[in-house]
Amino acid sequence: MSVNEERRKKRKPSKECGKWEDSRVVSGIFQATIMATGQLFSPTTQALFYNYKQLPIQRMLDFDFLCGRETPSVAGIINPGAEGFQKLFFGQEEIAIPVHSTIEAACAAHPTADVFINFASYRSAAASSLAALKQPTIRVIAIIAEGVPEADTKQLIAYARANNKVVIGPATVGGIQAGAFKIGDTAGTIDNIIHCKLYRPGSVGFVSKSGGMSNELYNTIARVTDGIYEGIAIGGDVFPGSTLSDHVLRFNNIPKVKMMVVLGELGGRDEYSLVEALKQGKINKPVVAWVSGTCASLFKSEVQFGHAGAKSGGEMESAQAKNQALRDAGAVVPTSYEAFETAIKETFEKLVEEGKITPVKEVTPPQIPEDLNTAIKSGKVRAPTHIISTISDDRGEEPCYAGVPMSSIVERGFGVGDVISLLWFKRSLPRYCTQFIEICIMLCADHGPCVSGAHNTIVTARAGKDLVSSLVSGLLTIGPRFGGAIDDAARYFKDAYDRGLSPYEFVEGMKKKGIRVPGIGHRIKRGDNRDKRVELLQRFAHTHFPSVKYMEYAVQVETYTLSKANNLVLNVDGAIGSLFLDLLAGSGMFTQPEIDEIVEIGYLNGLFVLARSIGLIGHTFDQKRLKQPLYRHPWEDVLYTK
C-alpha cells in the first residue's frame, strides 16, 4: 500500500473541501513560533484563493496529492459577489471547494487557512490584500499581479511588518515548500515538479526575484543537490513585500535547510541587506549567490530589463558591484551564471563530506490521474460524445447555421424564413419557400385573446407570473384541439392523395374510424365566409409554387365536406399542411423518405408553435402594461350542477 493510500484511509473528509478535519489551532502563540523558526508553510498549511482561476488551483491540489497531503491546500475560494462551490479534483476524488463573496466571510468560515493567494488584477490587488492582512487568521499573503502602484505596495509592507505578517510579491509567481505546500503556478506543471523532485523536501533554501528563473534554478538545484526545501520568488517590482535577505535569514533558522541559493538581479539595493547580514554574522550557513544582469555594462545607455526593478540606477546597483560585494561578504559567488551550477554542486558536496548533510532518500511519487480532456488530446483514450448536433456549430470564429456563417446570413440579407430553412431543414430553400414560411408565421402569430392558448397566457400573466411562465402556459394548450392539427392534416391528406382515394372515400373512411378530418372545420368561418388567411396562402401558392396538387386535393375534400355542413371549411391548419406538402414535393430539394420524416416528427406544428409564441408574448406584455389584476372567472358564467 502506498503512502497516499494509507493517508486516505485514515482521513475522514467531508465532500465540502473547506470542512476537512484539521487539528491545527491558529493563535498568536502559534504564529510567533512559526516566525521564530523561519517556517512559513507546512504539510497542513491551507490557503484562501482570491479571484478564482481553475488551473492554478488544480495545480495546487495535484501537488498536494503528489506530496501525500491528507488535506487539500485550498480551503476556500473568494469571488466577490459569488457564492457556492467549485468542483475540482484531489487525486482521483472530485471535491467541492466553498466559494465566498467576501474576504471576511471566507476567513470566518476557514480559520485554519492562514495563507492568502491573491490573483486579483493590479487595479484591485492592493485593496484586497490590505483587507486580507487585517484578518487575524491571515499570516502570509502572495500577490501575483504586476503593476501594483508603488505607494500601495509601501502601505502593504508597512502594515505587514507592523503586524508580524509576510508579503510575497507583488509580481510574483509565489513560493513552494517541497513536499508540503505551493502557491498557485509555482514550479509550473506536474511534470516539471516531478523532474525537479519538489514532491519531497531537500536541503536547499532558494530565493529569487524572478519567477521564471526560479523554475530554471529548481531544475539546476535538483540535478546537483538533493533538491529544494523551500523556494520563494519575491517578485520583480521595485518594492517587494519581502526581500532576499528576509528569506535567507528565515532559511538560516530552519534546521532542515543546510545551504542557501540566491539569485538576484541588477537594480535596487536589496542584495546589500544580505551583504550586511553576512558581514554581521547573522547567517551561519553557506550562501551561493549570483546577481544577473552583468551584460548591462555592454550597453552605452541605461537598460530596462524585464522586471520593473531590473534597472541599474548607478554603479552600486550594477550586477558586477553586487556580485563583488556578496563575494567580499563571504558568499560563494561564481564568475558567471554558467558557473553557478558548479558552485552549487561543490558547496553541497562539501557539506555532505563534512557530514552536515545526509542526502534525502528518493521516493516514488504517486501517479497523478490524467484529466480526460488531456488524455483524449494526446490520443491515450477515446470517449463517446453525449450529444450529436448537425444544424449548428459555434466552435469557430462565428456561429454557423447548417454550415453557413452568421456573417454570410446577414450579408446576404437572409430573413427568418431562411434561418428556419437552415436550422430546421439543413439547407437553403428557394426564396419562395422561405417567403411562404414567413407568411405562415405572420398569419398564425395571433388569433385574438379569446382562443384557449391566449386566454391561458392572459390568466397567467395577470397572476403576476413572469414572461416565460406566461408563454409556456399558452404553449401547453397547443394540441389536437388547438393549433396542433397541421401535422395531422398533412399526414392524412398525403396518405389519401398518394393512395388515390377520392374525397368521398377519404372522408367516409375517416368517419367510419371515428376520426374527424384534420384541417377541416371552423367554429366561426363558413362556406360563405371563408378564412381570409386560407385565401392568402392559396393565392401565394398558385403564384409561386411549381405544383399545388395536395392543396387542390384538400379543396376537393372541402367541397365534399361543405355538402354536409356549412362550417366544414378548409381551415388554416389544413391549408398550411397541404401547401407544405406541395412545398416539400415541388421544390425538388427533398426525397420522399425525407418528406415522410418531416411530416411524421412534427415539423409543421413547429411552425404554429413558433408563430403563436409571438402573439402569446404580446398578450403577456399587454396585460402587464395594462397592469391588469388577478383574473377570476365570473360566477354567472359557470353552470353549477350536481
| pLDDT tens digit sequence for 341-355 | 999 999 999 999 999
Average pLDDT over residues 361-384: 87
Q: pLDDT value at position 210? A: 86
Average pLDDT over residues 309-318: 64
3-state secondary structure 551-604: HHHHHHHHHHHHCCCCCCCECHHHHHHHHHHHHHHHCCCCCHHHHHHHHHCCHH
Question: Is 236's pLDDT higher than 90?
Answer: no
The answer to whether residues 485 and 515 touch, using CB atoms and an 8 Å cutoff, is: no
* Confidence label for 303 from pLDDT (cuts 50, 70 and 90): low
CA dihedral 329, 168, 224, 284 (to 10 degrees): 40
What mean pLDDT, rounded, does the chain reach? 90
| pLDDT tens digit sequence for 440-488 | 999 999 999 999 999 999 999 999 999 999 999 999 998 877 877 888 9
Q: pLDDT value at position 312? A: 54
CB atoms inside a 10 Å sphere around CB 109: 15
* Confidence label for 32 from pLDDT (cuts 50, 70 and 90): very low
Average pLDDT over residues 423-431: 95
CA distance 177 to 202: 10
Question: What residue has cell string 402587464?
Answer: 624
For residue 47, the SS3 value is strand
Q: pLDDT value at position 575? A: 95
Q: Looking at residue 195, what DSSP letter applies?
A: H
| pLDDT tens digit sequence for 519-543 | 999 888 888 888 999 999 999 999 9
Residues 6+ apart with CB under 8 A from 305: 265, 266, 267, 293, 296, 311
CA distance 57 to 51: 11
* Confidence label for 170 from pLDDT (cuts 50, 70 and 90): very high
Q: Is the pTM of this model over 0.75?
A: no
Q: pLDDT value at position 2? A: 43
Q: pLDDT value at position 238? A: 85
Q: Cell for 96? A: 467541492
Q: Which amino acid is at 4?
A: N
CA nearest to 558, candidates 531, 519, 528: 519
CA dihedral 303, 304, 305, 306 (to 10 degrees): -160
Q: pLDDT value at position 37? A: 64
Q: pLDDT value at position 9? A: 46
Compute the C-alpha angle 546/542/485, nearest 5°.
Answer: 95
CA distance 99 to 77: 5
For residue 161, the SS3 value is helix
For residue 482, the SS3 value is strand
For residue 18, the SS3 value is helix
Question: Is 27's pLDDT higher than 80?
Answer: no
| pLDDT tens digit sequence for 400-422 | 999 999 999 999 999 999 999 99
CA distance 105 to 78: 9
Q: pLDDT value at position 347? A: 98
Catalogue the active-site residues.
307
Q: pLDDT value at position 301? A: 53
Q: Which amino acid is at 316?
A: M
The answer to whether residues 40 and 106 touch, using CB atoms and an 8 Å cutoff, is: no
| pLDDT tens digit sequence for 314-324 | 678 888 999 99
Q: pLDDT value at position 30? A: 36
Q: Looking at residue 359, what DSSP letter applies?
A: P
Residues 6+ apart with CB under 8 A from 518: 485, 488, 489, 491, 492, 573, 574, 577
Average pLDDT over residues 241-252: 94
* Confidence label for 313 from pLDDT (cuts 50, 70 and 90): low
CB under 8 A, 24+ apart: contacts of 599-606? 599/487, 599/490, 599/491, 599/494, 600/491, 602/487, 603/424, 603/425, 603/487, 604/486, 604/487, 604/490, 604/576, 604/577, 604/580, 605/478, 605/483, 605/484, 605/486, 605/487, 606/424
* Confidence label for 20 from pLDDT (cuts 50, 70 and 90): very low
The answer to whether residues 94 and 47 touch, using CB atoms and an 8 Å cutoff, is: no
The answer to whether residues 483 and 456 touch, using CB atoms and an 8 Å cutoff, is: no
* Confidence label for 112 from pLDDT (cuts 50, 70 and 90): very high
Q: pLDDT value at position 297? A: 55
Residue 301's DSSP bridge partners are none
